[in-house]
A and B are shown apart, each in its own frame.
Chain A
């Protein structure tokens, strides 16, 4: 023990934690050296967040010890954690929208300070800090007016405003484009040089390989291994994460694709968003990918078709007949499904049970006259879907907020799978979902397509969209800029269309 004092900045040993009867962490060890970027990996529900929350003082461990610079620590709350030098940037943003950037950055100090604050100084300090991170953000702006990327940067600035010894970043790059991500990494390398220990949680394994010095993998609450990153590779990490080889992330498809389109969109233009002149068709059994950069209008197109946004002009044709979708109610009545990218805000009902979540779209088939629900049918249907989708839960009555991200996503999908849809739009099907659940979701998408449904998948994940689509549309500035057939699928082609350029060899006109 004496020796390790010099070696490690942070030592968590033998950490166990249960919530009620559910054991979340079992004898977990995490050791991080000063000036090290240490990746913490694991599927959703593996216990990463709980481990971090024990470190920061949100949760309290049942057994084990936490040492910071060789001294045992036991933060009772996040404030104590911060004072000790542990700063955490959580995946969910925790900024106060109505305060300025500077006030947010120094929020923790506002509470502890004397009666008067020197606002000018705070704004100046915050501006300096933000500038040093290399992002242009006005420290006196209201957080409400920032983009989501800027908000994430403010979160990071907030964590650094402390005398930070250990910085924890939970999926910091989810909302970043490659340029921002690179800037963030430059910052991390600088912090590392200053001797700050960084614990980095991410699902992007290629990111990890690029920046981390060492890695600890959790699976089902047990640590399955810690090693320097140089001793492993993506495959090795995946094996530790899911406990088996990952030969084929994208299952082979052999689906008969119909010739007549099940759904057609002609010259669709939005009233309030940038979407304009969008035309495409989906055939039964086809998985149509929609790629494009953030802000290119992909989500907006789906919402427009689904009736959640207002249309200006354009035609929708379902099964050869023109339809109008003025609201999601109409769209659902025409058997068009939509799985939102924002699972928590728009996809699932967090405080309700899995059963209540899944049934919400399918009352027509499980209720009789006067809207009385046939509970037996409901259970049968819901339990069937839980089994089919392999939703990991002890019962159908568990609240969705208690499920991991991957399982929540399956519930969001189940809602639309429980009714017979003709077309389903799935926006970012696997955002924030671990590898194991990803494969299950891809299988599910294939199965849905097999039934003759037209599936439209919107995704920013390049390997994903190339792996699961039969055809890819690429959006650029609110309209469809190009279409790629299976033999043209390359990251480069998608990117060229995304930024409004033609393909290199062949010129494709749509």
Chain B
């Protein structure tokens, strides 16, 4: 990254290009400054910690959403998967040792994502349709397995997870650290790994990818499976925060995740988008809710403001990239 950064800044008009490329970062910074100016509670560590905790779950599934969107697909199932997998994790944590419970939950998440992946990659089903189906199936299964009510953690493993999820290391909430690590991993994979390069290639021109000898189906399958595994990770985190797994968790999170990816400047047609910008998208969305809460704006007007800011952010990107 140092190399390309240096190149960008030293080329003619480089700084301007840099600003355009990372415009979401600057939207984010502007929002932070704005928030700090209008609320004196904003820059307290309690509030920042709270903000980071709130965005971590959606943040993790947003990264999964990003890699699916990069291939030109979409994954509507992630919100429901969070619910089903949170319930699954809560059941498992009461049954088996913690590491096994974590591992199994992630494996189940990967497998559920594989169903979408199989339908999209090998059965040529439209991503919207395949994941829409999985979305309702997962939500239904969540209610069936939990019998409609939250499953609480009862074991020492559950206590450990709940401690982990609610504490901080060096002032940063542990779950935010998990989220940031996933963002960094995604950044590295998308920039420096063949996997990332190929999914971007597939999203930008599937036929050309196929004729370049790329295993298009394999990669399309994998992105949904990974999205499922990331949904499992998010599920473990949100369940641990509240000490329970509920079938009502993750309600319409898939839409927030899509919003975050889009605010991050990714193209829904595939081929364009970065992890750092998706992180910014997640933070921007979180920041908007946070500041509106601090200003005591009731929740319904909040939704209106949020929608308006999404439109504004995306329009601003257009304007800047012209």
Contacts and interface: CB of A to CB of B under 8 A. Distances in A.
B194 interface: yes
B204 to A, nearest CB: 5
B211 A349 contact: no
B194 A371 contact: yes
Interface in A384-410: 395, 397
Nearest to A303: B211
A239 to B, nearest CB: 34
Interface in B203-221: 204-205, 207-215
B213 A361 contact: yes
Nearest to A379: B3
Contact of A375 (B3, B11, B201): B3
B210 A360 contact: no
Contact of B197 (A328, A340, A360): A360
A347 B200 contact: no
B283 interface: no
Nearest to A364: B194
Interface string A338-373: 101000011111111000100111010001001111
A278 interface: no
Contacts of A340: 208, 211
B271 interface: yes
Contacts of B194: 363, 367, 371-373
A370 B214 CA distance: 17
Contacts of B12: 21
A122 interface: no
A338 B211 CA distance: 7
B193 interface: yes
A329 B208 contact: no
A370 B185 CA distance: 13
Given A348-B208, A360-B212, A372 B3 contact: no
B67 interface: no
A40 B161 CA distance: 72
Contact of B211 (A328, A352, A370): A328
A160 to B, nearest CB: 33
B204 A350 contact: yes
B26 interface: no
B272 interface: yes
Interface in B168-194: 192-194
B301 interface: no
B214 A329 contact: yes
Given A331-B213, A352-B200, A347 B208 contact: yes
A332 interface: yes
Interface in B242-273: 271-272
Contact of B193 (A308, A351, A373): A373
Nearest to A307: B213
B193 A349 contact: no
A332 B208 contact: no
B13 interface: yes
A145 B36 CA distance: 60
A127 to B, nearest CB: 35
Contact of A328 (B13, B192, B193, B210): B210
Nearest to A415: B212
Contacts of B195: 371
A340 B211 CA distance: 8
A144 B243 CA distance: 57
Interface residues of B, number: 27
Given A352-B204, A373-B193, A332 B212 contact: yes
Interface in B5-23: 7, 11-13
A360 B209 contact: yes
B201 to A, nearest CB: 5
Contacts of A481: none
B231 interface: no
A489 interface: no
B198 interface: yes
A333 interface: yes
Contacts of A308: 210-211
Interface residues of A, number: 33
B271 A373 contact: no
B213 A328 contact: yes
Contacts of B207: 345-346
A233 B201 CA distance: 45
Given A359-B197, A373-B192, A351 B204 contact: yes
A349 B192 contact: no
Contacts of B7: 397
Given A363-B194, A373-B197, A345 B13 contact: no
Nearest to A328: B213
A497 interface: no
A349 B205 contact: yes
Nearest to A345: B207
B197 A370 contact: no
A346 B214 contact: no
B201 A360 contact: yes
A333 B213 contact: yes
Contacts of A360: 197-198, 201, 209, 212, 214
A352 B201 contact: yes
B271 A345 contact: no
Contacts of A200: none
Interface in B143-181: none
B192 A361 contact: no
A345 B204 CA distance: 10
A346 B216 CA distance: 14
Contacts of A345: 205, 207-208
Contacts of B272: 351
Interface string B84-106: 00000000000000000000000
Contact of B271 (A349, A367, A375): A349
A363 B219 CA distance: 15
Nearest to B267: A351
Nearest to A394: B11
A7 B149 CA distance: 86
Contacts of B209: 349, 360
Contacts of B213: 328-329, 331-333, 361
Interface in A127-154: none
Contacts of B192: 372-373, 375
Contacts of B271: 349, 351-352
Contacts of A376: 3
Interface of A: 21, 306, 308, 328-329, 331-333, 338, 340, 345-352, 356, 359-361, 363, 367, 370-373, 375-376, 395, 397, 415
Identify the 7 closest CB pairs spanning chains A and B, nearest first.
Answer: A332-B213, A371-B194, A363-B194, A349-B204, A349-B205, A346-B207, A328-B213
10 contacts: A21-B12, A308-B211, A332-B213, A340-B211, A345-B205, A346-B205, A356-B197, A370-B193, A372-B194, A397-B4
Interface of B: 3-4, 7, 11-13, 192-195, 197-198, 200-201, 204-205, 207-215, 271-272
Given A329-B214, A346-B211, A397-B4, 5 more contacts: A328-B210, A349-B271, A360-B212, A367-B194, A373-B192
